[in-house]
Amino acid sequence: MIVGGGFGGLACARGLAGKPVDVVLIDRRDYHQFTPLLYQVASALLTAPDIAYPFRAAFRNTRNVSFIHASVTRVDLEHRMVHTRDGGSVAYDCLVLATGSENNYFGSPALAANTLSMKTLPQAQRLRNHVLACLDRAIQTADADERRSWPTFVVIGGGPAGVEFTSALTELLKLVLGREYPELDPGSTRLVLVEGMDRILPPFPAWLGRYADRVLRRRGVEVLTGTLVQQATSDGVLLSNGQQIATRTIVWSAGVRATALAETEQASRTRAGRLVTDAHMRLAGQREVFAVGDLAAVTINGTELPMLSPPAMQEGRHVARTILADTRGETPRKPFRYRDRGTMAVIGRNAAVASIGRLHLTGLVGWIAWLVVHLYYLIGFRNRAVVLVKWAWNYLRKDRPIRMITRIDADPLVDEPAQGSQVSE
């Protein structure tokens, strides 16, 4: 049984597909979301179906893989049972925990209550609606101070996600303000990127971070490094440098933590809440229980692997091989080894950074490499084709077509599986 259909859980399920084992995949959503492109949904370039793929469609030709749409609330390791929010329970012989991560607000209820995120598709769609609504409100108010606060956007966190969303939002505002919001002066918008460390893009070499900083500043972004958020409210933020910014939009991209499940609290965890595993991703003292992805703390050369999709996919595939070896009565030949295939971040049109071993790319070359890699890892030919067409349309026509404020009415039958404690990566 696999709990969580993110990159790690899906990679494990695919590794076991068509093999002589029965696989049950459980997730609170009925689709896999391609999280690296969530920021493009939030910035009105792509739609939810473009970067999501239904689990049932992914395994419709695989007889040994079944899917349960439910929220897991508790794992009973002693009796080998997984319990779901609707009162159901499923027994397992082997368990793979791939419940991913969630936003880490570092114990601040104010940050949780007054910031927007893009960790999931609904959050990304909400953020898109919110940004567009802010522009509408800005042209409807006569108060000068309020008119300045609506088109002011603060992004907290200068990692890849924060940088990518900030650059995408810069392009969106540049495209739509002059043509569709003539009442607003293009210079009235303000974008502020706040990073607590001394530079943005900390996972990258320092010079790549400096390159990204220069590109963002040239495009009108205020980049504040070495700065923390002291206070966040519904109408502004107070920064550690004493600066107070009036804004109605605070985007949180400054940290995540591993998602916890009841009955695994006794397992060894790191400070980030990740489960400590052995060389084959097993929990200590639990030969039949594995953890992969953001949930698993894997240390290579004294450094914990980051909460990113490449380690998750490699871990998922390794666990699938280990499980198959166990079913054959064999001892796994090799411990898990992570092959670093690089890290990338796009900084808008014709600009990106990529660190692939000793190879470092910037500018147009890095941007093209980023496009190719992300298209390759998208699930489904239809998704790849649609995303490629939309990217090309936006590049040639400078047009982001998804500029509608949409809302879906709540439905208890639909909403119920998404509630609870299980969160996919």
Residues annotated catalytic, as ranges: 164
| Other CB atoms within 10 A of residue 126 CB | 16
Task: Give the separation between CA 422 and CA 99, rounded to whole angstroms.
Answer: 6
Helix axes 309-327, 7-16, angle to 10 degrees: 30
Q: What is the DSSP letter of 171?
A: H
d(CA 312, CA 13): 13
- Report how far Cα 357 is from the mean position of its chain's Cα atoms: 23
The helix (H) or strand (E) run that includes residue 71 is: none
Q: What pairs with residue 282 in β-bridges? A: 290
- Measured CA to CA in angstroms, residue 157 lies from 44, 118, 170, 188, 219 at distances of 21, 13, 16, 23, 18
Q: And the tokens for 306?
A: 């980051």
Question: Helices (DSSP H) in 43-189: which residue ranges?
Answer: 55-58, 109-114, 121-140, 144-149, 160-180
Concatenating the DSSP letter of every residue in 215-258 gives HHHHTTEEEE-S--EEEEETTEEEETTS-EEE-SEEEE-S-EEE
**CA separation, residue 327 to residues 14, 273, 291, 397 (Å):** 17, 30, 18, 55
Q: Which two tokens stand for residue 3?
A: 């709990």
Q: Quick one: tokens of 43?
A: 């910035």
Of 170, 222, 220, 168, residue with least CA distance to 194: 222
